[in-house]
Structure 1
Amino acid sequence: MDRDRERRARGEASGPVANGRDRTDRRVWMGDGSARRTGGTRLIPTGARKPALSGGSLPPTLGKARGAPCWLSLASRDIRAAEEFYSRVLGWCHVPLLGSPRRPRSLALQAGKPVGTLSETASDLGVYAGWMPYFAVEDVDVTVARLHERGATVAVGPLATGAGRVVVAAGPDDAVFGLREQAPDERWTVGEGPVARLELLTRDIFAAALFYGGALNWADSSCDCCEVEYVDGQILVRDGLRTVAALRDGTPPGLEGRHRWHACFRVPDVDSAAAA
């Protein structure tokens, strides 16, 4: 398949791929150097070291804290090209879901484990194209009120779905994310399995931590919520003993200072996947 078409499917412009690597754990960016409208994809080796926690490195658990990531979705300009790309690079299979002919949808699976949903969006609608995380909340109305108080914009919802109500919003830094009252698939996890973690690259991690911490009740000891910790220049978000998200300083290749949530996926070999 034409590589330029694949990049357009992910909301990227054509041109040479710019792979920015973190030498400590052999990560690689998958994306075009001039990408403007998409959240990036990062590949992490299956055996990559995990961020250290206080008291040493601990094994993952299966906690389901409020405010934790609970799902991923990809809005693509060309879903078929996106499916072929992720099948070739990451070995995913795709199961068609109900949707309109103009907006096909599919469920991505890796070794039988759910990764997220892919959907096609028309390029002339100006809809965000890229990966978007959803965070678990008990009541979207309460959380939406907190978002408004903190300068966020609610773009979609609340909408009733078969898996609870859903909201799509953008923070003060324009990073797009969603809220869900119920995870679409309880088998989905982050911190283990195909989804290694979610990352927000921003120029002010402390402002981002205040926004998301206040809106999603991170570090609220009065409820079953996520915990946060500042480690090695980044803010880690944990669900139980799993690191599920990180807030990091910087901007990804090609996004020109735009703040985005990025999905990190595990692969056995980064170089082989990047060359696929």
Structure 2
Amino acid sequence: MTADSPGQQQRHEERALGSRGAVNLMTHDLGESQRFYGAVMGWTFRGNALGDEFCVAEDTEGGTVAVLGAVASTYQVAVAWIPFFAVAAIDDTVARVRERSGTVAIGPLRLPRGRGALAADRDGAVFGVWQDDGTPGRIGRRSRLAWVELRTRDSFEAAIFYGEVLGWGAEIPGAPEVRYEQEAVVVRDGDNQLARISSGAVEAASDPLVRPMWRVHFPVADLDAAVAEATRHSGSLVERQDGPEFRRAVLRDPAGAIFTLAERTGG
């Protein structure tokens, strides 16, 4: 067996890195967001090398949950929770987004800890990519921190787009596997469900929850208590969902960012 060339090794690493990342909140007021999510989720916050406009959220056990940034006004982007997927060569990733009819709204920008870009897929769902030496956090169904789900127009077309951009489903060692499970495309990194992609969103819908978008889910031990705390701190309940594995509540924070809380009920 011959060894990979440096270029091949880098491409393999980039595809594998598409299996990890972090969730980021783009907002206007960092203090307001800290007060809200601290009350609802019990998170604490610390600064980091990204600067005064950013902070890292940690859970009660000290695990990194998310990065919060008061940059919605600076970069003229919507207030939102956005998944960022780690890559090894961000310029190549951004080029692939454009080649496959996606758009790049911001970047790549250089920040103290690396380089980042904000992009949208062909149907307008916004996501980020990040290149550095250690993106904080982890996303995935087995994580106690957060997992992500894409509601889009056509799950198969979306899976092809993200597969070509991030290497999901590539036939190389370490690449996340793509499967069709329970009427959705599921991306797995080993036994971790990295992302779920389901069809049915409507691009022109007036309701943002119906349009294509990435949804960020946070697990909670007591859903009713968390929802009550959210509404007490100027958040609002958008909808409730009960399933065989989870009870869920879709919420909007005081600045307008949509997120989901999920309480495990079985499985």
* TM-score in same-fold range (> 0.5): yes
Partner of 2:57: 108
Partner of 2:164: 214
Contact 1:69/1:133 (8 A) holds in 2: no
Amino acid at match of 1:260: M
- Taking the aligned partners of 2:111 and 2:73, their CA distance within structure 1 comes to 25
TM normalised by structure 1 equals 0.68
Please tell me whether residue 143 in structure 1 is matched to residue 93 in structure 2.
yes
- Taking the aligned partners of 2:97 and 2:192, their CA distance within structure 1 comes to 26
Consecutive unaligned residues of structure 2, counting only runs of 5 or more, are 1-14, 230-267
Please tell me whether residue 270 in structure 1 is matched to residue 223 in structure 2.
yes
Contact 2:120/2:127 (8 A) holds in 1: yes
Task: Kindly indicate whether structure 1 or structure 2 has the higher relative contact order, using CA contacts under 8 Å at least 6 residues apart.
Answer: 1
Deviation at 1:270, TM superposition (A): 1.2
Amino acid at match of 2:98: H
Cα distance per residue 1:166-224 (max 9 Å; x no partner): 22211111111111223644554533344341011112111111111111111111242
2:81 to 131, 140, 149: 131
- Aligned-residue Cα RMSD (Å) equals 2.6
Amino acid at match of 1:222: I
Aligned positions of 1:7-18 closer than 5 A:
none
2:58 partner SS? strand
1:255 partner SS? coil
- Taking the aligned partners of 1:187 and 1:177, their CA distance within structure 2 comes to 16
Please tell me whether residue 96 in structure 1 is matched to residue 47 in structure 2.
yes
Deviation at 1:78, TM superposition (A): 2.4
Amino acid at match of 2:41: L
- Taking the aligned partners of 2:57 and 2:150, their CA distance within structure 1 comes to 22
Please tell me whether residue 153 in structure 1 is matched to residue 103 in structure 2.
yes
Structure 1 ranges of 4+ moved more than 6 A: none
TM normalised by structure 2 equals 0.70
Partner of 1:247: 197
Cα distance per residue 1:137-160 (max 9 Å; x no partner): 221122222111110111222233
Partner of 1:177: 127
Partner of 1:70: 21
1:257 partner SS? coil
Partner of 1:119: 69
1:65 partner SS? helix
1:200 partner SS? strand
Between the two proteins, the alignment pairs up a number of residues equal to 211
Cα distance per residue 1:207-248 (max 9 Å; x no partner): 111111111111111242111111001111111110011112
- Taking the aligned partners of 1:124 and 1:224, their CA distance within structure 2 comes to 37
Cα distance per residue 1:117-136 (max 9 Å; x no partner): 11113558631211111112
Contact 1:65/1:240 (8 A) holds in 2: no
- Taking the aligned partners of 1:124 and 1:163, their CA distance within structure 2 comes to 19
Taking structure 1 as reference, are residues 187 and 119 closer, same or farther at Cα in structure 2, changes over 3 Å only?
Answer: closer
- Taking the aligned partners of 1:248 and 1:95, their CA distance within structure 2 comes to 35
**Percent identity over paired residues:** 35
Please tell me whether residue 84 in structure 1 is matched to residue 35 in structure 2.
yes
